[in-house]
Structure 1
């Protein structure tokens, strides 16, 4: 085991234990390289994370080991690691890491953190999201190119609504799109807005897009996962390292680039150079915040109403039965 190294990160000193530990055997990428990656992209990453309660997805044994989500501040954290209090759907509270400076990123990476999963809220008001997120998830038989095609339909809808969306690769086969919104609505309203948006995309591209919660009904289409907008559901931030053999990262791109890139092009080794050459495509994400009034009107006018929540949620008002359609028919 290699001796620990100490990194000077601003005013902090961050200790990296076992720096030569191989986290990605296929590429030979070590723990220290992951820490150094996060310091290289700290500026745009902190734009995505700053003041947001953030779940850490930790791979303490590297990509070949088991991962787990750290939803509470780990014991022994330095006093300079800030927190924000969130409330889970069960009603239980927790103090989550709330990144504010590069040293927090390095500290978290030393704990085996690959993905940073920020809530779509700020620490000053953790009950009112300021970000609408759309997760385009390719189903079996589809892939990244299919997600891109559906994302282009999504952009058409956003453009017509006067909303500005910012796309990124998920680091895998999917696409994520973020819209900055005014923090005037609660999680239920924002989820309803995403449902309305997803339903409109599905209406325009029924052979390519689906909002079906039940996998047996999705077919070979791209699922617009509206439940990622529910409380305590998060997606990996832009610039996050993903648990893939190639050490890919979730890369922010422009809409023009989205149709030409390959997710495997962006990884721990290549992303810092791209940032240095092209800058952050999401740098203007915070420049303007938008409203949800039209989307909420669409939702209110839709006779289909509420859709199922994740199975670990308490029963929600107006929610349909959580029974697979095939099982319901059999009964």
Structure 2
């Protein structure tokens, strides 16, 4: 012991203490003494699943006719823009991302919610799932067990998008509406299906990554109170070469959703000009994601420069509708065309993941035809997704995993 005047004795009394979280060195943060517990013995006290928060980031969130385009919107024009972006000064982006890292994610909702009656919809039990009747979505009435059942039902469709990819988690141990945090490491949680890998990353830094290759890993995430699952654009065994490009359309509140849909189609058409097939999904929040699977042969700087060139092309055409600036002040009445999902260590919500929203909405893959009638990016709840998959015929992303698309950057 460092303190010379400290005397350590065998624990005898049990105290009730409220606190915000455990630190990485097993110290309580913001503890407040509530009283002694005469109903418990010291020998009964154990450290429950800690799930230390070790890294934080910002968490978010009629058929449009295909326009005929002149040669001015050609692939050559985009290549020229991309080359200029690869040499541009990114100091403003670096500053904004470092600011994001220090931001704590908190989804504080109205306390009135807790006073309204809720129907617990838990069914069955999952081995290893503690407190299965705990409400993870109080407004919707979904218990921990019900959420686990959802992931059982979607695992076949979800796992191909999740396997072998580093995971980032939005953990809300007390459920939606409580304090949440963004986490990229397991902390003190010791998973069986959740794996860790130590991989050489950017600037020769060793990265400790979390991933899973089995549906059981989804249940372990539920046990940890994970409400959102985000993934890297690369796989664990080829970390420095992404095989996925994500365009995140993040509209300001006043933007009509029809404009978001038309924007998605515009990006699709630009990509088609470059012989790249893209796929659209809801985010479960406000916007849409456009995904482009590619052969993993370029680094993050090249991929990010390419994605920036695509969205800058739109921004220059319609500066009143779009911005590529991350600053909230630049988004007034505009859609933020987020290309930053393609940077090293950046993540995007994985298809079929639930979101930290009152109605338990999810990110759902769509066909481009379905996009026509979509009312909002949060149109699908947990139960909607289950019904959709149960009665579904053709896969909306048919051929996604068979594509071997190459970027022509030279």
Select which of 159, 163, 179 maps to 1:50.
163
CA distance 1:76–1:218, change in 2 (3 Å)? closer
**1:115 Cα deviation after fit:** 1.2
Residue aligning to 2:379: 265
Aligned-partner SS, 1:162? coil
Uncovered stretches (5+) of structure 2, i.e. residues with no partner: 1-123
Instruction: Deviation per CA, 1:244-300: give whole Å up to 9, x if none.
Output: 11100011111111121233431111201101222542342111122222xx45xxx
Residue aligning to 1:284: 399
Residue aligning to 1:189: 302
Structure 1 CA distance, aligned partners of 2:334 and 2:201? 31
Aligned-partner SS, 2:332? coil
Residue aligning to 2:8: none
Instruction: Deviation per CA, 1:110-160: give whole Å up to 9, x if none.
Output: 111111111111111111100011011102421433221211111110111
Task: Say yes or no: does 1:209 pair with 2:314.
Answer: no
Structure number, greater radius of gyration: 2
Asked if structure 1 preserves the Cα contact closer than 8 Å seen for 2:201 and 2:240, the reply is: no
Instruction: Deviation per CA, 1:55-110: give whole Å up to 9, x if none.
Output: 12111111011111221134242344323335676865332221111111111111
Instruction: Deviation per CA, 1:22-60: give whole Å up to 9, x if none.
Output: 111211111111111011000111011011111121111
Residue aligning to 1:96: 209
**1:20 Cα deviation after fit:** 0.8
Asked if structure 2 preserves the Cα contact closer than 8 Å seen for 1:138 and 1:146, the reply is: no
Aligned length: 287
Structure 2 CA distance, aligned partners of 1:79 and 1:217? 44
**1:209 Cα deviation after fit:** 2.2
TM-score (norm 1): 0.80
Asked if structure 1 preserves the Cα contact closer than 8 Å seen for 2:171 and 2:182, the reply is: yes
What does 1:218-229 align with in structure 2 at a 5 Å threshold?
218-229=331-342
Uncovered stretches (5+) of structure 1, i.e. residues with no partner: 8-13, 298-331
Asked if structure 1 preserves the Cα contact closer than 8 Å seen for 2:202 and 2:240, the reply is: no
Residues 28-37 or 84-93, more deviating: 84-93
> What is the CA RMSD across the aligned residues, in angstroms?
2.3
TM-score (norm 2): 0.66
Asked if structure 2 preserves the Cα contact closer than 8 Å seen for 1:72 and 1:94, the reply is: no
Asked if structure 1 preserves the Cα contact closer than 8 Å seen for 2:125 and 2:132, the reply is: no
Asked if structure 1 preserves the Cα contact closer than 8 Å seen for 2:161 and 2:350, the reply is: yes
Asked if structure 2 preserves the Cα contact closer than 8 Å seen for 1:137 and 1:174, the reply is: yes
Asked if structure 2 preserves the Cα contact closer than 8 Å seen for 1:89 and 1:232, the reply is: no
Residue aligning to 2:41: none
Aligned-partner SS, 2:383? coil
Structure 2 CA distance, aligned partners of 1:49 and 1:264? 21
